[in-house]
Amino acid sequence: MTPQTLEIKTALQIQKTSAEVFEAIVDQQKMSNYFISKSTGRMEEGNNLIWNFPEFDIDIPIRVGKIVQDKYISYYWTVGDQELLVEMTLTPREDNSTLMTITEKSKNNDEEGIKWLMGNTEGWANFLACLKAYLEYGINLRKGGFDFLRQ
């Protein structure tokens, strides 16, 4: 049986504490070092924000959902004409590392949904790699990586 809806789920272990990972996500200044170019504010429960990405000249509205300090972040953003839920779970691991799990849900299991699933799964894998590089090595992997999209 084919599922009626599609959901993205991806994870990566980061060699930093859950407090450090959490802060790198909710603090707009830190997030601008690996993901967005700017935000209208800090991710706090109930906030409505606007994110801008360095390779796109568009504003993305963000509606922050539930926040649990150092453990969980949720927000909603609009993809096409649909508002989707993004959930980030931070699980402490040995040696002060954190398992970062991201889910985004959901889209219909049709051609449009499959296109979204492929593109956003790639995007979340990139997000996790960029977050890891920034936190562990101080490197902005995203810088210049998508300049070809502007041509």
Q: Which has the closest alpha carbon to 28: 18, 15, 42?
A: 42
Which percentage of the chain shows pLDDT scores above 90? Answer: 76
Q: Domain ranges in the chain?
A: 5-137
In whole numbers, what is the pLDDT of the chain averaged over residues? 91
Q: Rounded CA gap, 77 and 60, in Å? A: 7
Can you tell me the distance from the alpha carbon of 12 to that of 102, in angstroms, rounded to the nearest whole number?
Answer: 9
Is 1's pLDDT higher than 60? no
- What Å distances lie between residue 137 and 25, 67, 100, 131, CA to CA? 16, 26, 17, 10
The topology under which CATH files domain 5-137 is: Alpha-D-Glucose-1,6-Bisphosphate; Chain A, domain 4 (3.30.530)
**Could you please report the per-residue DSSP string of 74-115?**
EEEEEETTEEEEEEEEEEE-GGG-EEEEEEEEEEESSHHHHH
Question: What's the pLDDT tens digit per position in 108-126?
Answer: 999 999 999 998 999 899 9
Per-residue pLDDT at 146 exceeds 90: no
Q: What pLDDT is attached to residue 144?
A: 63
Q: Which pLDDT tens digit goes with each residue over 37-57? A: 899 999 999 999 999 987 777
**What are the CB-based long-range contacts (under 8 Å, 24+) for 145-148?**
146/54, 146/55, 147/55
- Examine the pLDDT at 29 and tell me if it is beyond 70: yes
- pLDDT tens digits for 54-103? 777 788 999 999 999 999 999 999 877 889 999 999 999 989 999 999 99
